[in-house]
Structure 1
């Protein structure tokens, strides 16, 4: 008889594979008792045995690293992935990349699939670092990349988001731009966005009127009104490259130009920002190094390097790149 898989269990119960995965990982807070009982009964009847990573690594090391990416279309992540690949190749490991497409159910399924494939360890770029099911991962075999949870239950590799943002805004202020605004996507629950906004508040102040969240009603109109008012010292700092692109689309076709009408800067340095005229000043993340450092740290843990009891936070410094946008 063929080995029973999680797909078989899901079909027998009439639920998704992700639902079965949530059950196996103990994440049942939003699952009905009826569904839980159905899954339990089918598992018992079929003799299905979850293939846990802790069990598999007790007897073998597949020399493979699984990588869970929140959104593979994010331009930042491509350099991170190359860093991961290059470090794995140098140290004799294969790598499996998965894309969660910003969907928590897909993310849970990807994690489960990697565990089923007996990966040696996991590098995790999560959608939400605070999701409870992530605590099921073995902290000795997992490293979080470019995100950090509020209670730091996993080792984490990040940029110095807050400090570098604050330093960049100090440069804008030194050039006379003191009426500054932070342009972003929604920030709640995403550590990188929260930390960059924290750096903004530390340097500029925490006036909520200076937080411009794209996608919220009235934000586009507020930006255009600020530009129309032509207040001296007006400046905008965008949370990352995609936000900057949305900002540029908004002002395209208007008479407003930087740096004559306003100052402009961004976190993240994408190629197209360098060829604009004027080119965009920015905080440049070392995304390639983040990938390499994350991988090297994980492999060290897997190879038995002594680790502290508390989760560690490793910081890869960013660089200020001052061009001609303010």
Structure 2
């Protein structure tokens, strides 16, 4: 007869149940986070937040099943301290973009609003016109309205304000453009490297002359990076290139006048457009040439930044540098929410632009 310490007979499911309970206890002691659930389920943090907040209408059944399986297996519950902190907060962040009508801003704003909304964070939005004085006024107004942090597409001078916001414990995540002396977190694309590569490859394609059109937002670090990539690629290849700045309100007739005076149709010329809205204006200017279709398929190359996909629908389809603006917006919001949750983050989060060589570059 066995004593009290003898092995008891187990049911067919007892071992696996005990193992699941043990795993659940171990994970619960470690205070599983949303990030860890996302990693285990193979989805993004935003997707998990959407699920936890009941916003699953655009989510596949398989994704919902994976997330729920992790929650069931681990016994996950939102951290009580985090819930208390959020209950005391205003639940609002401020977003300041250069131009709200700009294609990049529209896509980025949609991304950050989706990410913030997944965690029930409200977004206050304003456009600065890439003007430092406007930035100051907007920040003060948003602070009075309860903004707990900021996502800013900033001018170079904004660093003068960043220190005072740090003292007020109002964190900043820079989006696309950052100040000259910035510290903290910035979400951006690899504009310099991408433009440098494009110009270098186009030199290899046999283009002889180069023209760059840009807006006059000289206060944006993004403009500096893309312009410097263009200049450095030409300098390293011992080539010359023209740079033409177009003021706000520019029209295709203004660009056509510049082209008429500077475009040599006897030589293969690449036209690079650094500003997304300006790209459409330059394209319309080229359409004024009677034989523009032949020009764009031979003597004249055209490429620029496109954030909303219009270049693939033109005749002929235009080459484009595509910035993942929506994804940048999502990431900027996630970074700011992480900082507000007490996670320190510094440095750049860099996305890669996508280059599409279509019929206008050959």
1:314 corresponds to 2:349: yes
Written as runs of structure 1 = structure 2, the 5 A alignment for 1:191-230 is 191-205=221-235, 210-215=242-247, 221-227=257-263, 229-230=264-265
1:174 corresponds to 2:174: no
Return the match for 1:137 from 149, 162, 165: 165
1:248 corresponds to 2:283: yes
Return the match for 2:322 from 284, 287, 293: 284
Question: Alpha-carbon deviation of 1:256?
Answer: 4.9
1:110 corresponds to 2:148: no
Confirm or deny: 8 A CA contact 2:190 2:350 kept in the other structure: yes
Structure 1: runs of 5 or more not aligned: 1-56
Say which SS state the counterpart of residue 197 (structure 1) adopts. Answer: helix
Larger radius of gyration: 2
Q: Distance in 1 between matches of 2:276 and 2:174?
A: 22
Cα distance per residue 1:14-35 (max 9 Å; x no partner): xxxxxxxxxxxxxxxxxxxxxx
Q: Distance in 2 between matches of 1:232 and 1:250?
A: 19
Q: Distance in 2 between matches of 1:135 and 1:219?
A: 41
Q: Distance in 2 between matches of 1:305 and 1:134?
A: 19
Confirm or deny: 8 A CA contact 2:302 2:319 kept in the other structure: yes
Name the CA shift for 1:320/1:210 in 2 (closer, same or farther; >3 Å): same
C-alpha RMSD of the superposition? 2.8
TM-score w.r.t. the length of structure 1 is 0.73
Name the CA shift for 1:100/1:202 in 2 (closer, same or farther; >3 Å): closer
Name the CA shift for 1:186/1:313 in 2 (closer, same or farther; >3 Å): same
Confirm or deny: 8 A CA contact 1:125 1:145 kept in the other structure: yes
1:165 corresponds to 2:195: yes
Number of residue pairs aligned between Structure 1 and Structure 2: 266
Confirm or deny: 8 A CA contact 1:165 1:267 kept in the other structure: no
Say which SS state the counterpart of residue 88 (structure 2) adopts. Answer: coil
Confirm or deny: 8 A CA contact 1:237 1:264 kept in the other structure: yes
Return the match for 1:70 from 82, 98, 103: 98
Question: Alpha-carbon deviation of 1:148?
Answer: 1.5
Name the CA shift for 1:204/1:213 in 2 (closer, same or farther; >3 Å): same
Name the CA shift for 1:208/1:113 in 2 (closer, same or farther; >3 Å): farther
Return the match for 2:331 from 293, 298, 320: 293
